[in-house]
């Protein structure tokens, strides 16, 4: 487990308290997870090197992201508000800032395995994908960011599936493209650099993936209605978002899991399965009272009476 050992010693050096948190997470994992993490880290190091980056760059990016999140969290605890409030600032400071976005997305990729809440959402997605595999011919991902979900979908669905992906950030699209070229070099994907809200509604998809984008827009109901209208009659969408989760690019503040559920319902989406994972291991009453972040994902379909 050479790669895991290196990661732990690197994080211990730069952020010892956070390393203790990871130790606790890993202590509760089985051997299958540990093997998966080791092989992810080995592959991700090769990917970073092939793109003139290094695993140390990736680990620094991860540490920076954790520190940024802690700063946002402290501000949120003091004021009750998210640190940013309008899209144009986020576009300039984050999405169009190549250096910042590259570091943010690479750090986020590592969190997919290192944070219990992110890993549980990844597992929910994998199950939803496999359960619906037979019906998927046209697939779209909105906001692929680091591209790990896109890679998982491409490697697990039939080779003939048509893939489209849309991201407001050119850097995110470049990262997604590079991870697909690393893992599945022959796969053709349509990469569209646009705000999803400005994409024409002229296509319908069997499966829509939108991970952690809903909280990035000012009016999530517009986005959910668009998703509803872009789903084929028997199509499915896998959506993830979060409650009380301040970050450098989060604009919309969901205050409870029920806020999310009722918005889905208002937009004609029926929940088939969901994952609700607080980021701290505390009783739910305490999570709610202390406004601790809750990660959320749902597999949804179009309500039948629409």
Ligand X SMILES: C[S@@+](CC[C@H](N)C(=O)[O-])C[C@H]1O[C@@H](n2cnc3c(N)ncnc32)[C@H](O)[C@@H]1O
Where do contacts with ligand X occur on this chain (CB under 6 A)? 95, 108, 142-146, 149, 166-169, 172, 195-197, 211-213, 216-217, 240
Instruction: Quote the least distance from Cβ 206 to ligand X, whole Å.
Output: 19
CB of 215 to ligand X, least distance (A): 9
Residue closer to ligand X (CB basis): 252 or 264: 252
Nearest distance, CB of residue 304 and ligand X, angstroms: 28
Residue with tokens 């937009």: 267
Choice between 216 and 302, CB closer to ligand X: 216
Q: Is 32 exposed, middle or buried (0-12, 13-18, 19+ CB in 10 A)?
A: exposed
Between residues 12 and 221, which has the closer beta carbon with respect to ligand X?
A: 221
CB of 168 to ligand X, least distance (A): 4
Distances (CA, A) of 301 to 34, 209, 224, 233, 236: 34, 12, 12, 9, 5
Pick from 274, 278, 213, 275: nearest CA to 244: 278
Q: Where are the beta strands (DSSP E) in 81-177?
A: 138-142, 162-167
Three-class secondary structure of residue 4 per DSSP: helix
Of the pair 86, 283, the CB lying nearest ligand X is at 86
Q: Which is nearer to ligand X, 182 or 288 (CB)?
A: 182
Strand order in the sheet with 205-211: 189-193, 162-167, 138-142, 205-211, 231-243, 294-302, 269-278
Q: Which is nearer to ligand X, 85 or 233 (CB)?
A: 85
Q: How far is the CB of 5 from ligand X (least distance, A)?
A: 26
Q: What is each CA distance from 90 to 16, 223, 296, in whole angstroms? A: 30, 17, 23
Q: How far is the CB of 43 from ligand X (least distance, A)?
A: 17
Q: Which two tokens stand for residue 292?
A: 């601790």
**In whole angstroms, how close is the CB of 244 to ligand X at the nearest point?**
16
> How many whole angstroms separate alpha carbon 179 and alpha carbon 183?
6
Which lies closer to ligand X via its Cβ, residue 247 or residue 269? 247
Tokens linked to 206: 């069997």
């Amino acid at each position: 487990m050479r790669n895991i050992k290196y990661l732990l010693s690197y994080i211990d050096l730069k952020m010892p308290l956070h390393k203790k948190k990871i130790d606790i997470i890993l202590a509760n994992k089985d051997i299958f997870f540990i093997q998966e993490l080791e092989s992810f880290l080995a592959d991700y190091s090769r990917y970073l090197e092939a793109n003139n980056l290094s695993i140390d760059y990736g680990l620094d990016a991860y540490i920076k992201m954790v520190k940024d999140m802690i700063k946002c969290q402290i501000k949120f605890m003091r004021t009750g508000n998210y640190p940013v409030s309008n899209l144009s600032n986020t576009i300039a400071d984050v999405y169009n800032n190549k250096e910042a976005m590259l570091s943010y997305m690479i750090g986020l990729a590592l969190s997919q395995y290192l944070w219990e809440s992110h890993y549980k959402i990844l597992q929910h997605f994998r199950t939803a994908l496999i359960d619906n595999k037979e019906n998927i011919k046209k697939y779209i991902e909105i906001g692929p960011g680091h591209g790990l979900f896109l890679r998982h979908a491409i490697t697990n669905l039939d080779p003939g599936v048509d893939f489209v992906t849309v991201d407001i950030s050119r850097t995110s699209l470049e990262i997604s493209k590079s991870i697909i070229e690393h893992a599945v070099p022959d796969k053709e994907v349509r990469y569209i650099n646009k705000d999803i809200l400005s994409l024409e509604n002229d296509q319908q998809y069997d499966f829509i993936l939108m991970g952690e984008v809903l909280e990035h827009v000012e009016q999530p109901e517009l986005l959910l209605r668009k998703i509803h209208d872009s789903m084929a009659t028997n199509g499915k969408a896998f959506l993830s978002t979060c409650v009380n989760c301040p970050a450098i690019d989060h604009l919309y503040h969901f205050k409870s899991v029920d806020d999310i559920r009722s918005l889905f319902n208002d937009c004609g989406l029926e929940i088939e399965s969901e994952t609700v994972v607080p980021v701290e291991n505390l009783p739910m009453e305490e999570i709610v009272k202390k406004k601790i972040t809750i990660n959320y994902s749902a597999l949804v379909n179009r309500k039948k009476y629409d």
